[in-house]
Structure formats: structure tokens, C-alpha cells
Amino acid sequence: MILTREELQALWQENIEEYRGEIRIPWPKMNDDMAWMRVIISDQASQAEGKVTLFENLKVTDDCITLKLPDWWKMVQIYFQEKYGEKLGQVIMEKALVRLADEKLV
């Protein structure tokens, strides 16, 4: 069973190590979803001289973090929400992004 976004947020606050384990648990169709994300990111990289980032224009101050999300992010978000619904799609997207970061693809 995949935890809800609210359950994941609570776990983040209560026990970060359990959150890290939970967020990395595979989900059904994970391999297909990850393959699709790799295609989207590869396409974006080919259009951006081989550079793809997780965030753009990241600015950190003592009391604020601001950033711009790249175009591929929105395409991935739409894909997951259309495939899994808004709430579950958001959770699976977060899980997929963590996996991408683990693979150092972005």
C-alpha cells in the first residue's frame, strides 16, 4: 500500500529515516513510469544542450527558498496525475523524483 501525501509528510516530521525508506519502496508499474520519465528528461536534455536540472533559479536566504521548476517537471506531474489521479499521482511523482535523484539523472 502506498502512503498518502499527508502520511508521508507526517512521517517526514516524525522520523526522517522511516520516510527515506518509505519513499523508496517500489510501486506497481514503477519500471514503466521510470522509463517514461527517462524519455521525457532525455528529450529535455537534447533541447537544452545536454543539461537538465531538478530546479532552476534556486535562491536560498535565511528565511526563504525560491525556485523555478523546469518544463519537464510539469509534463511529469500531468502524466502521473492523469494515470493515478491527483492525490496518488502526487505521491508517486515524489517517489519517482527521489529515485531519479538517487540515480543522479537530474
Q: What is the DSSP string of 13-40?
A: HH-HHHHHHHHTS--TTHHHHHHHHHHH
Amino acid type, 22: E
pLDDT in tens, 70-104: 888 889 999 999 999 999 999 999 999 889 888 87
Residue 105 is predicted with a pLDDT of: 53
Residue 42 is predicted with a pLDDT of: 86
Name the helix (H) or strand (E) containing 68: strand 65-68
pTM score of the predicted model: 0.78
pLDDT in tens, 6-62: 999 999 899 999 999 999 999 999 999 999 988 988 888 888 777 777 777 888 888
